[in-house]
Chain A
Amino acid sequence: MAEAIQKKLQSELEKYQQLQKDVSKSMSARQKLEAQLTENNIVKEELALLDIQNTVYKLIGPVLVKQDLDEAKATVSKRLEYINGEIQRYETLLKEMERKSEQHREVLSSLQHVNIFCRPSGLSRPRVNYAR
């Protein structure tokens, strides 16, 4: 009985760890997006400081391509919107993953309690009442 529970515990633990990895991945992606967001905001503001006389270039690969100022402004705005949308998506994804990980955590803890109780005696005597 204890071994079956151990096995279950192991599998649950693995699932939980996998979920945690996913969560951290999404988190880092979201952080990157946030950095891009701030950057693009600064670009937008600085473009506003320039006037039509200044030529704007965009670096595409090794090439600096001339761009129109207004076009540049529009492009940057569109990019900003896109980034915001992506951030929202990642938010919902993260929340979902957080919820799932919470469930897994509960399962894990309950399994652990059972494990403790079913463990061969001589190790620890549980004295705290976990039942809730």
Chain B
Amino acid sequence: MTYLHDQMASTGKVKRSKDLPQGAERLKEEHRKVVKDCRSQIEHWNKVEKDYESLQDRLRTLPDKLSYDIMVPFGPLAFMPGKLVHTNELTVLLGDNWFAKCSAKQADTLVEHRKKHVKNALDDLQKVMKNFQNKDDFTDDLEKLAGDTEDFVDIREEVINEEEFTKGKRLAHKPNSKPKQEYLSDLEEDTEKKEGDEERTTGLLSEEELWARLDELECEEELQDERYRHAVRINTGKNTTLKFSERNEQKVQAKRKKKSGKSNGLSPHESYKITSPADIYRVFVDLVNGEPIPRKSILKSRSRENSVCSDTSESSTADFEERRAAFGRSWSHDDATHSDTSDGITEEESPTGTSPRTNGRFEAFTGTVIEKEPLPCSIPYLTIAPPALPTIPERKLEEVGPEALQEPPKRMSKFKATRLHQT
């Protein structure tokens, strides 16, 4: 035990070349030992069986004559001529110091019975031996698998400084973080190394492609984010509603300007244009630590970040949401348009001006977006919170247009809204 620990302590990491053959060697040794044991035992039992068979022969011939002339052993060194009588009467040892007087035929039966036991033992041993032989062959194959680099390769990654990554518990990715560059670089390395292996390279490449595409899309989105700066609701905590007010709006803008450091040339009005479905996502953005972070889904509110369930952290959802948004630009997300998802987006759209334009774009949304209606009527859509969703209680309404938004946020189902809208 100490030896192993010392070894580990000295090397620090498991070397690929040394470890596997050693382990395999050890395993094979054990297998071979067992197989050898089995073989010797099988030999022993075979001898026993032969003995019994010769005994049976003797038993069958013994009663043929009434008496036999034999040389009787006297002690270890001498013999005496004598006669063997009562040839049919045998005292048989039954085992455990029990004896029985029986005839030759009965003895024969007993011997048969014993031979059955011997056969059972032999069968068991044969099975065990075959088992271990198979195991041995399998480890041989495994070794070949891992050792050679030709047909199959055992995928191994060397973990350096494991403590750094785990720190005792798992950490979710920070929002807007790309997957660690090291992993990416490892992937690249691996693909370079094992290019001969078709199966794996294709898999890795596609993964790499994925990451690359993700990065592209992220960059694109960031650029777009800069251009379309909507009013971002500061996270004022759980269960608080923030009514639309110009003061806040200005505050927010001021904060944004301060933090971004770029002059946002667009007027507040223009910044709230929704021209594509993705813009909706831009609207539903949380401000965390001064950074606008897109939310995982506009149905989800930040109220769940303190919940016990896993992965409700904003960071992880935001991360996930990024990717989703990146992938599905042309997503038609019905509920997204209607749900007003959380603690605070104040969406200040200039209602009338944009609505005719948005009409055309809303084709991506199936059937629940109003067309040819002044935006104030569409406001109810944006303020709808489907009652089934758990995050409803936390949601604050978006205040889309100035007029309609002055009233306290009403919640109605989208069906009701459609009805209202249609009537």
A residues in contact (CB < 8 Å) with B: 36, 39-40, 42-43, 45-47, 49-50, 54-60, 64, 67, 72, 76, 79, 108-109, 112-113, 116, 124-129
CB-contact partner of A76 in B13, B98, B163, under 8 A:
B98
Q: Which residue of A lies closest to B14 (CB)?
A: A128
Bound state CA distance, A108 and B1, in angstroms?
10
User: Closest Cβ of chain B: how far from A128's Cβ, in Å?
Assistant: 5
User: Closest Cβ of chain B: how far from A62's Cβ, in Å?
Assistant: 12
Docked-complex contact A58 and B97, CB < 8 angstroms: yes
CB-contact partner of B1 in A46, A58, A79, A109, under 8 A:
A109
Q: Mark B5-42, 1 if CB is under 8 A from A, else 0.
A: 11011101100000000000000000000000000000
CB-contact partner of A54 in B6, B102, B163, under 8 A:
B102
Contacts of A125 in B (CB 8 A): 9-10, 12
Docked-complex contact A128 and B12, CB < 8 angstroms: yes
Q: Is B403 engaged at the interface, CB distance under 8 Å to the other chain?
A: no
Bound state CA distance, A126 and B97, in angstroms?
62
Docked-complex contact A54 and B96, CB < 8 angstroms: no
CB-contact partner of A40 in B91, B96, B113, B117, under 8 A:
B96
Given A128-B8, A128-B12, are A59 and B95 neighbors across the interface (CB < 8 Å)?
no
Given A42-B117, A54-B102, are A59 and B97 neighbors across the interface (CB < 8 Å)?
yes
Contacts of B12 in A (CB 8 A): 125, 127-128
Given A49-B113, A54-B106, A127-B12, are A42 and B101 neighbors across the interface (CB < 8 Å)?
no
Docked-complex contact A116 and B5, CB < 8 angstroms: yes
CB-contact partner of A56 in B5, B96, B100, B106, under 8 A:
B100
CB-contact partner of A46 in B5, B8, B91, B94, under 8 A:
B94
Contacts of A55 in B (CB 8 A): 100-101
**How many A-B contacts are there with CB distance less than 8 Å?**
84
Docked-complex contact A57 and B106, CB < 8 angstroms: no
Docked-complex contact B9 and A124, CB < 8 angstroms: yes
Known: A40-B96, A49-B110. 16 other contacts (CB 8 A): A42-B113, A42-B114, A43-B96, A46-B110, A47-B98, A49-B106, A54-B100, A54-B101, A54-B106, A56-B94, A57-B98, A58-B99, A67-B98, A112-B2, A127-B9, A128-B12
Which B residues, 388 to 403, have Cβ-Cβ distances below 8 Å to chain A? none
Closest 5 CB pairs of A and B: A127-B12, A57-B99, A59-B97, A43-B95, A126-B9
Docked-complex contact B101 and A46, CB < 8 angstroms: no
- How many residues of B are counted as interface, with CB atoms below 8 angstroms from the partner's CB atoms? 27
Q: Is B352 engaged at the interface, CB distance under 8 Å to the other chain?
A: no
Contacts of A113 in B (CB 8 A): 5
Given A127-B9, A128-B8, are A47 and B94 neighbors across the interface (CB < 8 Å)?
yes
Contacts of B98 in A (CB 8 A): 43, 47, 56-59, 67, 72, 76
Which B residues, 151 to 179, have Cβ-Cβ distances below 8 Å to chain A? 162-163
Which B residues, 110 to 154, have Cβ-Cβ distances below 8 Å to chain A? 110, 113-114, 117
Contacts of B9 in A (CB 8 A): 116, 124-128
Q: Is B109 engaged at the interface, CB distance under 8 Å to the other chain?
A: yes
Docked-complex contact B110 and A129, CB < 8 angstroms: no
Contacts of A54 in B (CB 8 A): 100-102, 106
Docked-complex contact B100 and A36, CB < 8 angstroms: no
User: Closest Cβ of chain A: how far from B399's Cβ, in Å?
Assistant: 53
Bound state CA distance, A58 and B95, in angstroms?
10
User: Closest Cβ of chain B: how far from A33's Cβ, in Å?
Assistant: 13
Bound state CA distance, A54 and B109, in angstroms?
14
Bound state CA distance, A128 and B9, in angstroms?
6
Docked-complex contact B102 and A50, CB < 8 angstroms: yes
Bound state CA distance, A56 and B6, in angstroms?
65
User: Closest Cβ of chain B: how far from A49's Cβ, in Å?
Assistant: 6
CB-contact partner of B99 in A36, A40, A59, under 8 A:
A59
Given A57-B91, A127-B12, are A46 and B99 neighbors across the interface (CB < 8 Å)?
no
Contacts of B2 in A (CB 8 A): 112
Docked-complex contact A124 and B95, CB < 8 angstroms: no
User: Closest Cβ of chain A: how far from B33's Cβ, in Å?
Assistant: 18
User: Closest Cβ of chain B: how far from A119's Cβ, in Å?
Assistant: 10
Contacts of B97 in A (CB 8 A): 58-60
Contacts of B113 in A (CB 8 A): 42, 45-46, 49
Contacts of B91 in A (CB 8 A): 57
Q: Which residue of B lies closest to A59 (CB)?
A: B97
Pairs across A and B, CB under 8 Å, 9 listed: A43-B98, A46-B110, A56-B100, A57-B91, A72-B98, A76-B96, A125-B12, A127-B9, A128-B8
Bound state CA distance, A70 and B114, in angstroms?
21
Bound state CA distance, A36 and B117, in angstroms?
15
